Amino acid sequence: MKSPLKNTEPLKEKHRGLRRHALLTAEIKKKLPKLYATDGVKDKMVYLKLFSPYSNWTLYVSEFDGKDTFFGYVTGTAFPEWGYSSYSELAKSNRNGLPLIERDKYFKPKKFSQIRK
C-alpha cells in the first residue's frame, strides 16, 4: 500500500519485522549529508531521530554514508556522545520479533542546540 504522503515511501528494509514503517525513507536519505561532510560544524543539523520504545536510548542522526553507517548523537547510555551506528544492525534489532528501534515519524530536522535545550 502506498503512503498518501508525498516522498515518504520507505526504502526496502530486509529486517523490517513488525515495524510498520522504515527507519530511513528515501526523502530523509537524500537530505542527510555524507559522512564527515559536517566535520568542524559546531551546531550540526539533525535530520533523523531513532529511539527505543523500551528504554531511554535515542540516536539523533546528522550524517550517513549512503549505505550502512550513521553518525549522530546517542543518549540513554552511561555517557551520551557523538559516534557511529550501523543502520543494518539497528534495523534488524528485535526481541521476539518486535523491533527494538523505531523512527520518530514526527521529528522535523533542527539544529542540535535546539534538541539539547
Instruction: Copy the grid coordinates of residue 19.
Output: 515495524
What's the pLDDT score for residue 12? 53
CB of 104 closer than 8 Å to CB of 51: yes
Tell me the pTM. Answer: 0.83
What is the pLDDT averaged over residues 54-73?
A: 97
What is the pLDDT averaged over residues 64-73?
A: 97
In a domain, 101, yes or no: yes
Which residues are 74's β-sheet partners? 59, 81
In the chain, the number of structural domains is 1
Instruction: Copy the grid coordinates of residue 25.
Output: 525513507
Q: Which residues contact 102 (CB under 8 A, 6 or more apart)?
A: 19, 21, 23, 50, 51, 52, 53
In a domain, 9, yes or no: no
Of the candidate ranges 2-6, 49-53, 86-90, the one whose mean pLDDT is the lowest: 2-6
Reply yes or no on whether the pLDDT at 19 is more than 70: no
In a domain, 100, yes or no: yes
In a domain, 13, yes or no: no
What is the domain extent for residue 30?
A: 26-115
